[in-house]
A and B are shown apart, each in its own frame.
Chain A
């Protein structure tokens, strides 16, 4: 099947190096300490952060740093066919672990010992790149909750089909069986914190695809900075400055 037409257009009309449209909103879950929704094209994700609060399970308490917990679920209606198990299956467990460890890299946990930070991420619409959207949403939610972070984490995915590196795969391109590289970076230092890849790729092509995904992450980081700046200006206005 052709994923890149001879004119250089993908199935949804994008260019190979073009990302999908990004949309973010902060503060959508009123009960949570921090929340955000993030859209990458048709993929829509909501993240809610509770914390820092008292550890619910005393046995898990860490005396020198905060305990970070994460739960990733996909809504039953998020994919084309109704999902039988929204959480608890192996993929969700792995992605929860991945998101938790990725966010732990940027949260300054040593500032909040003996406390707990919960990150709940729910996928409302899944069209490829849910992992990346979840990490971006979690970053925004953590920022909204006012949790001290050393740097934000942004994530983007890239693939390689029809001998072309493609940025930000959607579901059709993802399920084509080609490689899928998800990268999460800390934009200030451009250090890679999350890197996942499946399928097979020669090493030199992998480097190209990883660089492309990193560029995508930087673009997302710019957008997130804009959104946060906008939100801060609003807060300033409400304070009456």
Chain B
């Protein structure tokens, strides 16, 4: 496929002949066999819904964002999915900044057909208020380096980004129940998209007079090939989309053969994507747990694990909850699978409400309830103010009690010191408090390990 602009790199006749001749002996320029894919690496960004894919030299980035919009008139109870491709000029000298050229549009439409028409993403679940408000999912694909076969790489980037994307949860509220309230991620866990299947694109190139078929053509092979075909398939042996936009003619038997090969390759790629997504989700849930305990000196989960579960105090259950989180982190499901018997649901929501981390936690906000405060304070090991707490009754709401010591004690004692200082004090205090629930010797062990 020749480029049209004067400043593009043109293939020399020698290079062309070399590629064609070596293909006659089943060798490709980069050493691959005709039906081998290049090395595929899928990385994710820190946020949900951003992916980076490298297929050999081709480097593509995909980002998914969501927005509430009005639905189309003819589809009032379905969300929308739109794909935008940007062929950055840094990727290839023939790409121009600004308006997308033909190849950018074609790329976007191939991926669009594969995802939208094959019902890969469940758009009906994106509906909030039928006919009025739906979620609009926007996939932005940036081509960073054109090493050939942009379609496959961009498709994988889109699929990976969609698989890790989470949209904020929203509920209907307000006076008339028609107002849509979007909950920030700190309040409610964002919801992943429902993806029925992963349509993977596999591109074939037809090179030379005998129309030798190669998979995953590189930039050089693309300049030489007489035609190309992109088949989008999923692992259920369904053909989701095919794009053979002209070019050299091939026999229908060759096409069917290509489709069979493509379904094998699609299976490989799908498993690679799924593995990458799973490890990202694992890492994500681990990260969420760490944020809980990051500012605490006391490694709460460790404490809780060793603590006896039968001790029936709120605080204890909270710590157990956190340790459960750790264990559960291995599973993709972020909802803490609480095995604690007593009063689970309320505490579960409290624990989850802290998943935002210290930056969003305000100890003075009235909205926080006593249970949450008790647990977090204990886990934060701010012992100095707790000292005073021990003199008061346990069942009084802690809000007021804690507020006094903190305001008086302006110097917010750095967490490390109090533990060592007050461990002894904890033991001397005769009155039973929440702190006693934690066996002191574990704290000491933790303090020493923290050093």
Binding site for B on A (CB under 8 A): 59-60, 62, 67, 90-91, 93-94, 96-105, 181, 184-186, 189-203, 206-207, 210-211, 214
B343 on the A face (CB < 8 A): no
By a CB distance below 8 angstroms, the chain B residues around A189 are 249
B5 touches A192 (CB 8 A): no
- Determine the residue in chain B with the shortest Cβ distance to A177: B117
By a CB distance below 8 angstroms, the chain A residues around B4 are 60, 67
User: B239's contact among A67, A96, A191, A200, by CB below 8 Å, is which?
Assistant: A200
Q: How far is the CB of A204 from chain B (nearest CB, A)?
A: 9
B106 on the A face (CB < 8 A): yes
A195 touches B249 (CB 8 A): no
B249 touches A196 (CB 8 A): no
B347 on the A face (CB < 8 A): no
By a CB distance below 8 angstroms, the chain A residues around B109 are 90-91, 94
Interface centre among B6, B117, B259, by most chain A C-beta atoms within 10 angstroms, is B117
Q: Can you list 15 residue pairs at the A/B interface with Cβ under 8 Å?
A: A62-B2, A90-B108, A90-B109, A93-B105, A94-B102, A100-B246, A191-B249, A191-B250, A193-B248, A194-B246, A195-B229, A197-B239, A200-B117, A203-B239, A206-B239
Interface centre among A59, A94, A184, by most chain B C-beta atoms within 10 angstroms, is A94
User: B242's contact among A93, A197, A202, by CB below 8 Å, is which?
Assistant: A197
Task: Report the bound CA distance from A91 to B112 in whole Å.
Answer: 11
A190 touches B118 (CB 8 A): no
B242 touches A97 (CB 8 A): no
Task: Report the bound CA distance from A105 to B227 in whole Å.
Answer: 9
Task: Report the bound CA distance from A62 to B240 in whole Å.
Answer: 36
By a CB distance below 8 angstroms, the chain B residues around A184 are 246
By a CB distance below 8 angstroms, the chain B residues around A91 are 109
By a CB distance below 8 angstroms, the chain A residues around B259 are 203, 206
Task: Report the bound CA distance from A189 to B255 in whole Å.
Answer: 15
Task: Report the bound CA distance from A91 to B102 in whole Å.
Answer: 11
Q: Ordered nearest first, which 6 A-B pairs have the shortest CB separation?
A: A101-B246, A191-B249, A102-B246, A195-B244, A59-B6, A197-B242
User: A192's contact among B1, B6, B241, B255, by CB below 8 Å, is which?
Assistant: B255
If A98-B246, A101-B246, A190-B252 are given as contacts, then 13 extra A-B residue pairs at C-beta distance below 8 Å, sorted by A number, are A59-B6, A94-B106, A190-B251, A192-B251, A193-B247, A193-B250, A195-B255, A196-B242, A201-B238, A203-B233, A203-B259, A206-B259, A207-B256
Instruction: Number of B interface residues at 8 Å Cβ cutoff, please give it.
Output: 39
B113 on the A face (CB < 8 A): yes
Task: Report the bound CA distance from A67 to B6 in whole Å.
Answer: 13
User: B243's contact among A99, A103, A196, by CB below 8 Å, is which?
Assistant: A196
Q: How far is the CB of A60 from chain B (nearest CB, A)?
A: 5
- Determine the residue in chain A with the shortest Cβ distance to B226: A105
Give residues 233-286 of B contacting A (CB, 8 Å).
Answer: 233-234, 237-252, 255-256, 259-260, 263
A203 touches B244 (CB 8 A): no
- Determine the residue in chain B with the shortest Cβ distance to A61: B6
Task: Report the bound CA distance from A194 to B246 in whole Å.
Answer: 5
B119 on the A face (CB < 8 A): yes
Q: How far is the CB of B150 from chain A (nearest CB, A)?
A: 15
Task: Report the bound CA distance from A210 to B231 in whole Å.
Answer: 14
By a CB distance below 8 angstroms, the chain B residues around A206 are 239, 259
B249 touches A105 (CB 8 A): yes
Q: How far is the CB of B420 from chain A (nearest CB, A)?
A: 64
- Determine the residue in chain A with the shortest Cβ distance to B240: A200
Q: How far is the CB of A148 from chain B (nearest CB, A)?
A: 17
Task: Report the bound CA distance from A99 to B245 in whole Å.
Answer: 8
A104 touches B244 (CB 8 A): no
Interface centre among B118, B227, B234, B239, by most chain A C-beta atoms within 10 angstroms, is B239
Q: How far is the CB of A154 from chain B (nearest CB, A)?
A: 12
Q: How far is the CB of A79 from chain B (nearest CB, A)?
A: 13
By a CB distance below 8 angstroms, the chain A residues around B249 are 105, 185-186, 189, 191-193
A192 touches B245 (CB 8 A): no
By a CB distance below 8 angstroms, the chain B residues around A195 are 229, 242-244, 255
Q: How far is the CB of A121 from chain B (nearest CB, A)?
A: 14
- Determine the residue in chain A with the shortest Cβ distance to B242: A197
A60-B5, A196-B245 given as contacts; is B227 within 8 A of A90 (CB)?
no
- Determine the residue in chain B with the shortest Cβ distance to A90: B105
Q: How far is the CB of B247 from chain A (nearest CB, A)?
A: 6
Task: Report the bound CA distance from A34 to B197 in whole Å.
Answer: 47
Task: Report the bound CA distance from A97 to B103 in whole Å.
Answer: 8
Task: Report the bound CA distance from A97 to B1 in whole Å.
Answer: 12
Q: How far is the CB of B296 from chain A (nearest CB, A)?
A: 50
B246 touches A210 (CB 8 A): no
By a CB distance below 8 angstroms, the chain B residues around A203 are 233, 237-239, 259-260, 263
A101 touches B105 (CB 8 A): no
Q: How far is the CB of A72 from chain B (nearest CB, A)?
A: 12
Q: How far is the CB of A116 from chain B (nearest CB, A)?
A: 11
Task: Report the bound CA distance from A233 to B65 in whole Å.
Answer: 62
User: A211's contact among B238, B245, B252, by CB below 8 Å, is which?
Assistant: B252
B118 touches A199 (CB 8 A): yes
Task: Report the bound CA distance from A60 to B5 in whole Å.
Answer: 6
- Determine the residue in chain A with the shortest Cβ distance to B83: A90
- Determine the residue in chain A with the shortest Cβ distance to B101: A93
Task: Report the bound CA distance from A196 to B233 in whole Å.
Answer: 13
By a CB distance below 8 angstroms, the chain B residues around A197 are 239, 241-243
Q: How far is the CB of B154 from chain A (nearest CB, A)?
A: 15
